[in-house]
Amino acid sequence: MRSGLKTVNLEEGHPTSDAAIRRLTHEIHAARGLEYAALKLIHGYGSTGAGGRIRVEARAYLERQLRKRQIRAVVTGEQFSIFDEATRAAFALCGDLRRDTDLERHNNGVTFVIL
């Protein structure tokens, strides 16, 4: 049975977006191997105010993984609320999400991945 939430800071070390996506791919595979239920990705929003490249690329990558059924769900930080249906469904798969400090903060610098 999978359980637990692992936090991954994709911004750490100020990587290029390509390097961040490679790390994201590695972290998804590693988290599965360790039987985590979910990942919290910290990707930031970007200093330009238009959305950072890591954020945009990571979310596009996750959407592709979702379509391929490689991951179960994606919940953006903006939608991470008890009033959001996808968030409530994610709670059922990973109870640790209920205790995350970004709940109800509408933080567009994070994304949750349900494995």
pLDDT for the residue 32: 95
Tens of pLDDT along 73-110?
A: 999 999 999 999 999 999 999 999 999 999 999 999 99
Look up residue 30 and give its two tokens: 């590693």
- Residue 28: burial class (beta carbons within 10 Å; 0-12, 13-18, 19+): buried
The CATH number for 99's domain is: 3.30.1370.110
Number of folded domains that form the chain: 1
Question: What residue numbers bound the domain in which 14 lies?
Answer: 5-114
Q: Report how far residue 97's alpha carbon sits from residue 87's, in angstroms, rounded to the nearest whole number.
A: 9
Please tell me the number of Cα atoms within 13 Å of 70 on its side-chain side: 11
pLDDT for the residue 113: 98
Tens of pLDDT along 22-78?
A: 999 999 999 999 999 999 999 998 665 555 899 999 999 999 999 999 999 999 999
Q: Report how far residue 22's alpha carbon sits from residue 102's, in angstroms, rounded to the nearest whole number.
A: 25
